[in-house]
Amino acid sequence: MMQQEIDTADPALWWKQAVVYQVYPRSFKDSRGSGLGSIAGVTEKIDYLAELGVDAIWLSPFYPSQLADGGYDVDDYRNVDPKLGTMDDFDELARSAHKRGIKVVVDIVPNHSSNLHEWFKAALAAKPGSLERDRYIFRDGKGPNGDQPPTDWIASFGGPAWTRVPDGQWYLHMFTKEQPDWNWKNPEVRADFIKTLRFWLDHGADGFRVDVAHGLAKDLDRDDLESYKVCEHVLPSDGSHPLYDRDEVHDIYREWRKVFNEYNPPAFAVAEAWVNPDRQHLYASTEELGQVFNFEFAKKDWIRDDMHLAIEEGLESAERSGSSATWVMSNHDVPRHASRYGLPQVPASSHHQLAKDWLLRDGTTYEENRELGAKRARAAILMELALPGSTYIYQGEELGLPEVADIPWNKLEDPTAFNSVREQKSKKAVTAAVCRCPGSPQTHRSSMIPMTNSATMVLSVSLLRAPSMIHTYHSRNGTRISPSTWRMPTRIPC
């Protein structure tokens, strides 16, 4: 398959051949001794990131939030959570990163807000049919008293996807009840997100990672809604699902592209779109976001033919979109591959099924060969970085961080854990989540191993040789905790 030549010297195309390092600010680096990471802590470690050779950092949500979903429930889209710092801290991080040639990618969450967002509080205070309510998705209930939800949908994290308010109406939330879905048919919503894009670009952001990019456009004015689910493992290839991957979503991103092109060089975005592989390329169009995550690659275990197919399909999708391929093995939504690769490698009906089962049952069902997993993880990252296109590295991946499967249930800080009890066996598969621990692995200086994809990169992977060299975390009270005894979960897409 012929791959397009990319001019890596063109500053407008930096993202097409980049190594992007995902930072979860709440756990990356504690700069204040509070046990919680901060924006200033990322700035303190910018030289470490520069030594790794990354081209960009992707900042997971750092907005004011009640943390119903680890920060993906946003109270205010144009501010920094005071527990993590200030806007001045963000501006300094952007300056420090740019001084070292590192771009800054901001995580934007356009499918839903927090229920503490000013507009949602206004919606609750307003009457049914008001302009305030039209910014979200409110519906009357079914049944003679309207006391039944509009549909029987189950939310992604368990529990009903509709919550009733005191006046009897119901609002839609595909995730937690603290995350009401925006109504993207509302022009005020569209205009406010344009304002948010410009706000962060004016403060030094170079692009965005778009959360649930395939979920914004919805069609709820139809009679067959209960034929569909919020949690769909396979989406149709014709854009016909009422909640996901509808053709109308691309009108939104074409509006965003006009904003991106106002800047020099133009901004870009990468879509988190768990869609049918036949439709991935639409999000990566040069007239829309520019890039989309190749989750087919992330879904694969250490099975040669499966990985080979995902690579071929990723390259083909990139060619169809006119963009470059993306490669990711781990992030805050999936079990870390250092552990996945150390578990038995057997075909399953859904991705990471065995790893999820292993985590669900506290690591007691299957034997994790951590040494073998580390060797495979080291080989996999060498392969990944040699592939054409952009690579997304999850924080701690360069250290070979594995999962910790036996965190007590009362220590879990994940929306599905909040909605579940042990006896129901409904705990969502959870990840290695250094990313949502209230502390972080201390960074280590280590030998540097040169690797290349089309963009030359140097990445520290020496600790992949020996995960036991990952020493300690710091808890909120300052005690030292072994990583083998503490892991916090994160959310998993269905």
* Sign of torsion over alpha carbons 235, 239, 242, 248: positive
CA of residue 461 relative to chain centroid, distance: 23
Can you tell me the distance from the alpha carbon of 350 to that of 373, in angstroms, rounded to the nearest whole number? 20
In one-letter notation, the amino acid at residue 82 is P
Helix (H, G, I), strand (E, B) or coil at 122: helix
Contact between 285 and 321 under an 8 Å Cβ cutoff? The reply is yes
A 10 A CB-CB count for 425 gives: 9
Can you tell me the distance from the alpha carbon of 210 to that of 111, in angstroms, rounded to the nearest whole number? 9
422's CB contacts (< 8 A; 6+ apart) are 409
Can you tell me the distance from the alpha carbon of 235 to that of 231, in angstroms, rounded to the nearest whole number? 10
**Comparing C-alpha atoms, which of 105, 98, 83, 91 is closest to residue 46?**
98
272 is catalytic: yes
Strand partners, 19: 391
CA dist 150 to 147, 178, 223, 228, 456, Å? 9, 18, 11, 13, 53
The structure tokens listed for 197 are: 């894009």
In one-letter notation, the amino acid at residue 179 is Q
333 is catalytic: no
Contact between 246 and 228 under an 8 Å Cβ cutoff? The reply is no
262's CB contacts (< 8 A; 6+ apart) are none
In the block, residue with structure tokens 């999708």: 317
Can you tell me the distance from the alpha carbon of 290 to that of 273, in angstroms, rounded to the nearest whole number? 13
Of 75, 178, 211, 414, which is the active-site residue? 211
Helix (H, G, I), strand (E, B) or coil at 106: strand
Can you tell me the distance from the alpha carbon of 342 to that of 366, in angstroms, rounded to the nearest whole number? 10
Of 181, 245, 272, 414, which is the active-site residue? 272
* Sign of torsion over alpha carbons 175, 176, 177, 183: negative
423's CB contacts (< 8 A; 6+ apart) are none
Residues with catalytic function: 211, 272
